[in-house]
Amino acid sequence: MSNHPYDTLGPDTVIDAVEAAGYLSDARLLALNSYENRVYQVGIEDGEPLIAKFYRPGRWTDEQILEEHAFAAELADAEIPVVAPLAGADGRTLFEHAGFRVALFPRRGGYPPELDDPDALLVLGRTLGRIHRVGAARPFEHRPAMDPKEMLDDNRAFLLEHFIPRDLRPAYESITADLADRVAPLWAEITPADCQRLHGDCHGGNILWRDDNAHFVDLDDCMTGPAIQDLWMFLSGGRLQREAFLSELIAGYEEFMDFDPRQLRWIETLRTLRLIRYAAWLARRWDDPAFPHSFPWFNTDRYWADHVLELREQLAAMDEAPLRLL
């Protein structure tokens, strides 16, 4: 017996949902690489294809989704290159069909940014500075704030109970306890004044690069947190390279928004939270058939051994001096 929420989402349901929103489909359908939600490119008669996003049932409330949409519209109104949802004739951006919440977006082309290109990093920094300038204007009322209890403590407990192999549990429990001890005093430095509305999931996969500009997509994880959360994931390589990349990003960012260098101390804290949360995200979604199919390397003995090693390396990184602006 089917018990997964997306089991009932077939091609006919996707096309019917788009047509119920007022568009005539030509029945061309392409599933895009999206796992948390289901996202499709849908052909439209005598028009450009649309992107239909079917939100994962039970994850967000209607109020949280609508606040995501409002934030995207606010950014678009400020002429910031984001892909905002389309409104129907009645002004709604969130539709319901066959038990699913659905939003439609215009299709935008592009390719991933070259994150080792100083000019691209400068543009990314400028765009994020503009996003954060709008984000700082008012708070979210319904979207979540970053929370180490949920991101670290709750996810750690879930993985220990359900997924970490028995022979690795002592090592995992010990290393994550040490990481939690390092995270706590650094997180305590973050005040409400340091936090604002964020994109929340800024990495190359959520950016379409075209016409020498960065177009941000997928505000599904927009949240309240410190500005550095939207910046650190663009950094890679050795320490000197990361400092060079960071300096380019911040140079562009500060053309539109001040940056508090205190936040550089929190990069490894945020990386720690993401490492643990990412493993738990895969684990919590493992009953969704799309996940074992798309992430076949997950939940193997090799994966968990490598994960423990990665966390050991992260503990060492937590003890290093923060990155500097050059």
Instruction: Give pLDDT tens digits for 87-122.
Output: 988 899 999 999 999 999 999 989 989 999 999 999
SS (H, E, C) 63-93: HHHHHHHHHHHHHHHCCCCECCCCCCCCCCC
Catalytic residue among 7, 90, 147, 201: 201
Residue 62 and residue 86: Cα distance in Å, rounded?
16
> Which 3 state secondary structure label does DSSP give 148?
helix
CA atoms within 13 A on the CB side of 108: 24
Query: How much is the pLDDT for 35?
Result: 86
Query: How much is the pLDDT for 211?
Result: 87
Contact 241, 115 (CB under 8 A): no
Cut 0.85: pTM above it: yes
Is 258 a catalytic site residue?
no
Which tens digits make up the pLDDT trace of 127-158? 999 999 999 999 999 999 999 999 999 999 99
The CATH 3.30.200.20 portion of the chain extends over: 5-106
* Phi–psi pair at 254, nearest 5 degrees: -75, -5
Which tens digits make up the pLDDT trace of 237-285? 999 999 999 999 999 999 999 999 999 999 999 999 999 999 999 999 9
Average predicted confidence (pLDDT) for the chain: 95
Catalytic residue among 218, 220, 230, 288: 218
> Which 3 state secondary structure label does DSSP give 112?
coil
pLDDT band at 1 (very low <50, low <70, confident <90, very high): very low
The label of the residue with tokens 């550095």 reads 228
The CATH 1.10.510.10 portion of the chain extends over: 118-318
Average pLDDT on 194-213 reads 93
Please state which CATH number belongs to domain 5-106: 3.30.200.20
Query: How much is the pLDDT for 109?
Result: 87
CATH architecture of 118-318: Orthogonal Bundle (1.10)
Is 201 a catalytic site residue?
yes
First to last CA, the chain: 59
